[in-house]
Structure 1
Amino acid sequence: MKITPELCIRCRGTKYLCGLTYCPLMVKLSVPKIESTDIYGSSPPSIFVGRFNYPKVNVYPSAPPIVGDTRDFEDPKHWLKIDLNEFLKMRLSLVRGGIKMDVNSAQNPNRLLIDIHSIVLPLRPVDINLELKKPPKGGELSEDLPPLGPSAPLKALEISRLPSPSRLVERIYQDDDLKAMDGIIELYNNNIDVEDIARLLSVGMLGVKRKLVPTRWSITAVDTTVSNYLVEKIKQYDTIDKVEVYVRSFRKNLFIAILLPQKWSFEWGEAWYPGSTWNKFGNDVGIEVDYEGYNGRKDYPEIGGCYYASRVGVAEYLAKRKRQATAILFREIYSGFDLPMGVWFVRENIRELFKAKLMIFDTLDQALEYLKGVLKTDINLWRAKSGLLKRETIDKWMV
């Protein structure tokens, strides 16, 4: 749909008459253009590690030009609760100062990297001053990462107020004999969220032979490690008793889950409709599906990091219930949802999905018949793409 001045005048950023889930004009107007090279603010904390030119990567300590409690700038649970305009304004106002580092520098960190570690340790806002070589420009939208604000080369970093570090995080940081995987699980079991753990891994604060890890890789690594750990626990439990269905509609996205009373297996599928982020110019729905059996998978799913982000959500739910199931998850993305959001959007929505009221069925056929009235996607088209819906081992749940 073409956005005309007449449409904007009628809408004024409140009615979303253009069909989008946010107002591009409001976002543009609300994010101030920064001319200064001296940025003073409270880092939530926020550190981004790039992946280009690996193993020489850019590391970006970041802060908005705001002093105070900025934790919401890095809190996916909060992001789900606020308007998309506010979310974009928040994320795009995080200013990044970039410095090139070798990934192996985490084994013998210099003063700057130690300061970056100090920013991350408290898991709370830290007042910092970024001295940049030039005014920050640009920004970045990514399928794997939340939106990133403008950046410029970093000249100097100064910490002006540093809260006490988390004792747990500091202990694990100081233990360079503790494997990264074990550190990740210990942090997770002590209620440190996966986003915070990924940040620690990314800046080289976990493990024996420590390295800087590009942020998008660290997020997937933590999602994979945590979900693998939970799945091994789930496999010790009895299966659920009936076929269960969960449905969540949110911002031109539909999330559904089918849980079958069988041993663990997992599938994540997405249907991108014309006019959505990755199908802006197509005429037909594009469907992607990846899955695993009881023993997991050895290759990386083509569908990307959202596979493991969704796997965390369902594994957490089953582990909490102390039950085992085959989990078939599916997402529809509609026209108007045209922004890359990052895998956090999938992880948090799957967590919310399992808070919804469940529907119980005796057979998979009954569940699919119900979903015909919920999904926009033709059930037969989904089944043709699915690996688990057509698997012989679920035939007994069809009738």
Structure 2
Amino acid sequence: MIKPELCIRCRGAKYLCGLSYCPILVKSKVVRVHNKEIYGSSPPTIFVGRSNYPKITVYPSAPPIVGDTGKFEDPKYWLISDLNEFLTMRLSLIRGGVRYDINSAKNPDKVLLDIQLMSLSARPVDVELKLVKPPSGGILDDNTPPLGPSAPLEKLNVTTSPSPLRVTEKVYSDTDMKAVEGILRLYKAGLDVEKISRILSVGALGHFRKLVPTRWSITAVDKSISDFLIEKIKTYDTIDKVEIYFRKFQRNLFVAILIPKEWSFEWGEAWFPGSTWNKWGNYVDVEVDNEGYFGRTDYPEIGGCYYASRLGVTEFLESRRKQATAILWREIYEGFNLPIGVWFVRENIRQLFKEKPIIFEDLSSALNFVKKLLRIDLKLWLRKSILSYNTIDKWLK
């Protein structure tokens, strides 16, 4: 029996259980397509793997559909779509893989250049993928959105011209611009973080142009933007009272506690038995990571959801020009057992803060309310929370 805390900390990335494969993710290896030639409109979608780094595989991807496939790459649409529709869309994206050294982005060959230009496009691009063999497998991952089967790419034909925005063209052509500067410029121009991470992953940003695994590029974009927003938030006055926000969605509960103090942040997850990363456990496992006013210097063990949620709350505070200590908790209930990417957290947190807050004069009253929302004992959260370092000793007795 695999200990549930190992799965929660590993999430299919570190093989902490000692196996050479992840028994949770192995179920994704069953999709098969018999055709070796795929013609369709790429949303555009490009996935960059991390196996065998620094020699990694780049996958231009397309569904066997011609037309407006933009929703295949739109997290806002994913959130409102039925889970089956979402999975059908994403798992229909067929990938053709080409192996590159990460430094190939500096002087790309014809195929990689076409892939880079595809990544810049604001609209779907018609492509033909000729594969070495029929594709198989698929990706279900805690960081990246699901993707369909893959096979080595024999030939890539781009049959319609990519249509990049002017700001995207400028960032791409400016090789003296630092990658973080490019990320922020695209974000300020209104590009969604999923699109920015795609451009970063194919080595189309920054002075030192390198291919970046998609898993890493998503977190890098979430972190870079929220780092920028945090520095602005620190210059604002704090909120006046304790604010509680909550959202119940697809067997998940999201709770945000905003406290009228200087900036600090916490993200916590409680995985119930029968949920994605606690399939075989018999108790709820709670994991929490946090940072103080001056941030953190190490990567949070809880993974990319930490920065995805941090982006959501910093966007909200910046929009209000306010500062707060932000405590965000998520309970994941039995039956929610598919890893579908950190986008799910980011978009739910964004949606969470569109709700009207419940206001409290003090933290104790706020926690009394939160206690009624949670399915697990509030004490389980508080024992690991940065709240426990404040004036709530009575809750732990």
TM value normalised by structure 1: 0.90
SS in 2 for 1:389: helix
| CA RMSD, Structure 1 to Structure 2 (Å) | 1.6
Alpha-carbon separation, structure 2, partners of 1:380 and 1:103: 46
Query: Which position in structure 2 is the counterpart of 1:391?
Result: 389
Asked if the contact 2:42/2:126 (under 8 Å) is kept, the reply is yes
> Which residue of the partner structure matches residue 125 of structure 1?
124
- Are the equivalent residues in 1 in contact too, given 2:31–2:148 (CA < 8 A)? no
Q: Distance in 2 between matches of 1:142 and 1:212?
A: 20
| 1:327-377 CA-partner distances (Å, limit 9, x unpaired) | 000000000000001100000000000011210001111011011111012
Distance 2:77 2:96 in 1: 25
Q: Secondary structure at the match of 2:80?
A: coil
| 1:16-68 deviation per Cα after TM superposition (whole angstroms, max 9, x unaligned) | xxxxxxxxxxxx9xx98521111000000000000000000000000000000
**1:227-376 matched pairs, under 5 angstroms:** 227-376=226-375
Given that 2:245 and 2:355 are in contact with CA atoms closer than 8 Å, whether structure 1 keeps it comes out as yes
Shift of 1:70: 0.4
8 Å contact 1:92–1:139 — kept in the other structure? yes
Return 5+ residue gaps in structure 2 as ranges: 1-27
- Aligned-pair identity in percent equals 63
Deviation of 1:140 (Å): 1.3
Greater than 3 Å deviation, 4+ residue runs: none
Shift of 1:164: 2.8
Partner of 1:42: 41
Letter matched to residue 369 of structure 1: N
Q: Which moved more, 1:196-205 or 1:110-119?
A: 110-119
Conserved? CA contact 1:46–1:74, under 8 Å: yes
- Per-residue CA shift, 1:90-121, capped at 9, x if unaligned? 10000000010000001111111110012112
Shift of 1:297: 0.3
SS in 2 for 1:248: strand
User: Which position in structure 2 is the counterpart of 1:194?
Assistant: 193
Structure 1 runs not aligned, ≥5 long = 1-27
1:150 aligns with 2:149: yes
The 5 A counterparts of 1:64-79 are 64-79=63-78
SS of 2:245 mapped into structure 1: strand
- 1:166 aligns with 165
Cα distance in structure 2, aligned partners of 1:91 and 1:164: 22
Amino acid at match of 2:49: G
- Does residue 211 in structure 1 map to residue 214 in structure 2? no
Following superposition, the deviation at residue 165 of structure 1 comes to 2.1
Alignment partners' CA distance in 1, 2:245 and 2:316: 12
Following the alignment from structure 1 to structure 2, what is the Cα–Cα distance between the partners of residues 209 and 251?
Answer: 41
Q: How is 1:83-98 mapped onto 2 (pairs within 5 angstroms)?
A: 83-98=82-97
Q: Which moved more, 1:323-332 or 1:366-375?
A: 366-375
Cα distance in 2 for residues equivalent to 1:395 and 1:280:
33
Determine if contact 2:93/2:149 at 8 Å carries over to the other structure: yes
SS in 2 for 1:262: coil
Map of 2:177 onto structure 1: 178
Residues 32 and 93 in structure 1, CA contact (< 8 A), matched pair in contact too? no
Can you list the C-alpha shifts for 1:120-142, whole angstroms capped at 9, x where unaligned? 12221000000000011011111
Separation of aligned partners in 1, 2:31 and 2:101: 33
Q: Secondary structure at the match of 2:286?
A: strand
Residues 247 and 347 from structure 1, CA distance in 2 versus in 1: closer, same or farther, beyond 3 angstroms?
Answer: same
- TM-score, normalised on structure 2? 0.90
The answer to whether the 8 Å contact 1:202/1:218 transfers is: yes
Q: Secondary structure at the match of 1:349?
A: helix
